[in-house]
Chain A
Amino acid sequence: MLKTRISLAAPLVIALALILFGSTMLIPASAVARDQIRIVGSSTVFPYTQAAAEEFSNRTGNAAPVVEATGTGGGMKIFCQGLGIEYPDITGASRAMKPSERALCAKNGVTDISEALIGYDGLSVAVSRQGTVLDLTKAQLFLALAAELRDPSGKWITNPNRTWRDVDATLPNLKIQVFGPPPTSGTRDAFVELAMHKGCKQLYGKLPKTEVHHQCSRMRQDGPFIEAGENDNLIVQRLNADTTAYGIFGYSFLFENRDTLRAIKVKGVVPSMASIADGSYGISRPLYFYAKNAHRGVIAGMQTFLEEYLSDAAMGKGGYLLERGLVPLATDKRLQIRDAVVGANPVKVTGDLLPTSIAWLGWIVLALLITLPVAGFLGGRSRAAAISDNMHSLAIHHGAYVALWTSVPTLAVLLFWLALQTPALDAMILASLSDAFLAGKTETAPSLIVAQIESVAAGRFFTEPTAEIRAAADRLIEWRAIADKGLVAAIAIVSLIGLLLARARVAPDFRARYGIERMLDALMLLCAVVAVFSTLGIVLSLVFESARFFEHVSIADFLFGLKWEPQIAMRADQVAGHGAFGAVPVFLGTLLIAGIAMIVATPIGLLSAIYFAEFASRRMRAFAKPAIEILAGIPTVVYGFFAVLVVAPALREFGLKIGLDVEANSALAAGAVMGIMIIPFISSLADDAITAVPGALKEGSLALGATKSETITKVLLPAALPGIAGGLLLAVSRAIGETMIVVMAAGMIARMTANPLDSVTTVTVQIVSLLTGDTEFDSPKTLAAFALGLVLFLATLALNIVALHIVRRYREQYD
């Protein structure tokens, strides 16, 4: 009886999970109340926002704001998606908002924005306290770090300077070695604009625009300038390990590490609060935050938060933001901005944020969904029990059959209804508007109008709506109420029809169990198809975005180009970036690191597998095998830190001892650590393959007098070879797709090299750095990530299909 219950519960549990999955997707964001402020944006502004948020929450007891560092561009993208509680209220920026971003905001109705300049950030070039403090001009920085210089005849040549002495005879004879941010970072953009462009201009005078974009903006990629990812802590550690290296940081970071780092002078000026604030330090940039005025008074505490952020306690003398290294504005200017932002007239908001209907509707629907199937079950069971003689199926089967017919079609109707209600109502509302009202609106207007009507209907209006809009909103509310009632009625009717029809079929020769089983099969098939849908989702989103990328760059250029330099932004006034998006060096770097990983992991993994399969005692196996499998369970973030903090410095030191020049983020370090990660992967797959060889082969070999090692190398390994090969291919695909280790430990510069001591970059590194940087969201730089993702997906797909094919064929040989 218990077993029967389990079997009957199964379809319901599966159905429930599917409903959960389906319905969570349909939670309209507007139905979720929000009582905390949401802030996104630049990682440079992040520490200050963080401090203001913590003080605000502790002081006022308001819900803690959610502060997320998305990069300036990423922040703008989310910020500008629209008004309403599903979008952030404030975004931080390490540059002013660009016209294209303002346009996007305006398109989505975000027009009333307060801009607050909060202070300045000085970009500093720092060195370990043991190192040499240089005094450089911007021209010297350019000579040291630019990819190309002009020779006396005016031709651009590859930068020949290797040491600081090459740059200027008065500088020390030290190798140039500067760690800096990747091209996707706002810090990098600021450095290029404030230091490189100025230096270029000082050297060569005013140049044509294309040369400023190309030659003056390009950092060298041949070694002396090392792009080191976004993690500044790691750069600090490297600087402390190597006192001849320099690093480019934001000022707050230098401020926090002033006991181990010193900034070099730029034209004789050391960056400090005073020199950045008064502008005498040459490389400084403004920091901003932007707030949606329409959200004030709607989002609890937002006005108070803005007051806190710009208060004297935060930004005044000795304020807590200054303790974090913010270089504040002059007092009068600060007070002026504060008054402007705090006093920006928050538009009065009428009405409630929450559409009131959702609450009761959800409960009624839930109650119907639970009670009717239960009633169906009881009804079906009692009717079957009443017949009792010579039934094909048990009474309980009949009950379950009725319950399933009561619930499953209803759920389908519900999902269908929820998916269609909003679009249908929108279309109806649009159709109901008078032609006079619609006349003269632009192409994109209908969606805007509908959005406006919807906000008004939801009680969120920030400006007084016109009479036409108000009438439409009232209509919308009315129709929604009808739709809600309709939904409840539809659910009740469909459920009851299902219940009655199914109950009417209860009869001695009715095969209720078969019905349940068919339904169960269908549900299980649906579950299996979820996996297909997620693949489909991946493919569609990748292909869609890649197609947009390939509008800018031809597929052939991307796949076969030998030059990967996403740092050259492709602007409107520029010919399509020829060769700048050639991904071959990126693929090569990926293969190099994956290759190193396999060289490390294959022997160790295979030998461990052999040992476990044939030599190890039961106790040894029971202890050591899970112990090694721990390696597979360690999060890859941890490996990343391990590579950067332990392996890379050790390799570098060892290299120096034997006279080899190992780069700080060499492919070897990343590859070796990745190898450690995939050891257990290989060892358990190989172990499986070896133990799957039929015992008869092994016993036959031993019986003929072969030693264990002979049995292994001559009998077991050849027999298990296809399985092992399949396992190795799976390991390769894992190595290619691994993200966090290489993000942290591998380089950012794509180079055509097979030297494991050089720094190379991988596909996954490029995806992450392109997607999480401060670039504008719709630039080809960002879209390139999706093209790389598509290639990565297809490559792993191919590897897996081949590997699984091999494994399967092999398995069938012995069955």
Chain B
Amino acid sequence: MTDPATTDLAGKDRGRTTVWGSPEQARRFRARRRADQRLRLFGLGAVALSLALILILIGSLGYSGHTAFTQTHLVLDVTIDPAKVRADEPDTGNYRALIRGALWSLLPKVRNSADRNDLAKLASQGAPYILRDRVVADPSLIGQTIKIAVPVSDPYDQLHKGVIPRTGPEEERRLKDKQIAWFDDLVVQGQIESRLNWGLLFNSDSRFPELAGLAGAISGSFYALLVCFALSFPIGIASAVYLEEFAPRNRWTSLIEVNINNLAAVPSVVFGLLGLAVFIQFFGIPRSTPLVGGMTLALMTLPTIIIATRLALAAVPPSIREAALGLGASGHQVVLHHVLPLAMPGIMTGTIIGMARALGETAPLLLIGMNAFIISTSGGILEPATALPTQIFIWADSPERGFAARTAAGILVLIAFLVAMNLSAVVLRRKFERRW
């Protein structure tokens, strides 16, 4: 060690001296640097690949789903004829005739009754109900002429968006030449408008793609998550606190621990089986309700919350416990007054992630019937409902063309919710994370 210019390298070079700055040493150093760079590049490549996969995934969904975020509307001037709608009973009026009349008056050239029936199908079949709801809400409209925008039916919507072709053999097209001509005529008249599709968020399910929305599914998911949270959050924290802080280390508690860790990895479909067999068949909780969905999801989320809570508790340094103990606090007081509040950010993060996972879960909900067709929004935990992922599953299975785009759009809405939840978890973690 007298000569600082020589050094002894580990491994195979032991016993040989290498002169700093010699070409041999420089070559080896370059090789080591290259290896270093290589690993770094591989790592960066792996990260980039993962990010690219996310982009492809979201991109392909956005590509197929973007058309569902607008909806083609037909603007009609409807005269609410008091002969068809009686002021004392506005909800039983003949709104269908009003819509048809308004539509026919726009294209007076269509005379033949078969053609007129065909033309009437340009407006969504839900249009009369939209008009009805508006008049029922404000009966003073009776006798007036109002402007109302109603969705056009799905084939015309797809035509306007360029999804289905205008040319090609007529018998292979969903819209015949004369139907396309009517539609083009209405476009020229300025009666066709493309609007932002708020119905996607605020309508409930329907068999008509142009009317179908996610409101029912969102409310169902909300109530199910509410139940899930009310059950899994307190029970999860209590279990974790017990196991981490108070449980004696013996065979029984280690059995419980193994159990919980294993539950976290039980395939979700098995929880669905459990929910079906125990909650529905044994305890008789009504099928399809957010209550039974939330309970099943709670069992699934419980291990996630327990594990996250235990990690958060373990991360609180012993000095805090010792200080509290030293000042005379009891074991319970240490945990409840100091450790648990300090671990709260970590617990909340874990809970939000668990909730996000519950929101995206499909398989168990299929088995307990939260995949029904319901055209109203759920009014509570005991009213049947669908959830967001199962609604997507239903739409994906629907043959109407418009549902293809709506499926992808529904997925994007679901992902937006998930990203929002996960981002809030990240923000929470960043804001309150403490390094001890």
Contact = CB atoms under 8 A, between A and B. Distances in A.
Interface of A: 3-4, 6-7, 10, 13-14, 16-18, 20-21, 24-29, 32, 34, 36, 38, 43, 46-47, 50-51, 53-54, 57-58, 61, 63-70, 78, 86, 129, 230-233, 252-253, 256-259, 318, 320, 324, 513, 516-517, 520-521, 523-525, 527-532, 534-535, 537-538, 541-542, 603-608, 610-612, 614-616, 622, 624, 626-631, 633-638, 641-642, 645-646, 676, 679-680, 683, 704, 707-710, 712-713, 730, 733-734, 736-740, 743, 764, 767-768, 771-772, 786, 789, 792-793, 796-797, 799-801, 804
Interface string B267-288: 1111101100111000111111
Contact of B266 (A10, A521, A737): A737
Contact of B46 (A3, A16, A611, A799): A611
Interface in B28-53: 32-33, 35-36, 38-40, 42-47, 49-51, 53
B265 A796 contact: yes
B184 interface: no
Contacts of B197: none
Instruction: With a 10 A CB-CB cut-off, give which of B174, B279, B384 has the most chain A CB atoms.
Output: B384
Contacts of B341: 6
B242 interface: yes
Given A531-B263, A615-B44, A637-B393, A7 B285 contact: no
Contact of A789 (B270, B382, B401): B270
A677 to B, nearest CB: 10
A79 to B, nearest CB: 12
B195 interface: no
B333 interface: yes
B432 to A, nearest CB: 15
A64 B57 contact: no
Contact of B362 (A230, A525, A626, A637): A637
A633 B60 CA distance: 18
A239 B32 CA distance: 54
Contact of A256 (B91, B374, B399, B430): B399
Contacts of B256: 528-529, 531-532
Given A231-B396, A233-B396, A708-B36, A796 B60 contact: no
B373 A531 contact: no
Contacts of A318: 117
Interface string B422-436: 110010001000000
Contact of A527 (B238, B271, B375, B415): B238
B360 interface: yes
Contact of B38 (A27, A634, A709): A709
A-B CB proximity, top 4 nearest: A611-B43, A635-B360, A737-B267, A524-B242
Given A541-B274, A708-B39, 13 more contacts: A27-B284, A34-B286, A36-B384, A64-B374, A86-B284, A232-B397, A521-B242, A528-B247, A637-B389, A641-B411, A768-B269, A792-B270, A800-B262
Nearest to B371: A68
B261 interface: yes
B123 interface: no
Contacts of B356: 633
B235 A54 contact: no
A259 B176 CA distance: 11
A607 B41 CA distance: 9
A804 B258 contact: yes
A547 to B, nearest CB: 14
A47 B283 contact: no
Instruction: With a 10 A CB-CB cut-off, give which of B164, B260, B357, B407 has the most chain A CB atoms.
Output: B260
Contacts of B271: 534, 538
A743 B393 CA distance: 12
A532 B235 CA distance: 13
B11 to A, nearest CB: 9
Nearest to A520: B332
A531 B47 contact: no
A743 B269 CA distance: 11
A3 B337 contact: yes
B360 A707 contact: no
6 contacts: A21-B295, A527-B236, A530-B302, A628-B51, A638-B411, A712-B39
A641 B361 contact: no
Contact of A737 (B265, B279, B371, B392): B265
Contact of A800 (B125, B243, B261, B279): B261
Contacts of A524: 238-239, 241-242, 246
Contact of A57 (B235, B295, B333, B375): B375
Contacts of B239: 524, 527-528, 530-531
A534 B239 CA distance: 14
B373 A21 contact: no
Interface in B333-376: 333, 336-337, 341, 353, 356-357, 359-363, 366-367, 369, 371-376
Interface string B311-324: 00000000000000
Given A231-B397, A524-B238, A532 B418 contact: no
Given A27-B285, A800-B261, A18 B235 contact: yes
Contact of A793 (B173, B270, B360): B270
B299 interface: yes
Contacts of A520: 332
B389 A635 contact: yes
B49 A233 contact: no
B226 to A, nearest CB: 11
B82 interface: no
B141 to A, nearest CB: 19
B352 to A, nearest CB: 10
Contacts of B389: 635, 637
Nearest to B51: A627
Contact of A54 (B54, B332, B375): B375
Given A538-B266, A679-B50, A25 B285 contact: yes
B173 A259 contact: yes
A397 to B, nearest CB: 11
Nearest to A325: B399
Given A61-B91, A633-B353, A709 B270 contact: no
Given A611-B40, A709-B40, A25 B283 contact: yes
Nearest to A623: B51
B265 A86 contact: no
A192 B397 CA distance: 23
Contacts of A793: 266-267, 270
B230 interface: yes
Contact of A32 (B286, B333, B337, B360): B286
Contacts of B277: 537, 541
A195 B207 CA distance: 31
Contacts of A66: 288, 372-374, 384
B32 to A, nearest CB: 5
B262 A14 contact: no
B316 to A, nearest CB: 15
Given A624-B51, A800-B265, A629 B172 contact: no
B231 interface: yes
B306 interface: yes
B206 interface: yes
Contacts of A743: 363
Contacts of B265: 730, 733-734, 737, 796, 799-800
B419 interface: yes
Given A527-B235, A638-B411, A804-B261, A631 B39 contact: no
Contacts of B266: 538, 737, 793, 796
A259 B174 contact: yes
Nearest to A737: B267
Given A17-B230, A25-B283, A604 B54 contact: no
Contacts of A633: 353, 356-357, 360, 418-419, 422
A53 B172 CA distance: 31
Instruction: With a 10 A CB-CB cut-off, give which of A529, A615, A709 has the most chain B CB atoms.
Output: A709
B361 A635 contact: yes
Contacts of A709: 32, 35-36, 38-40
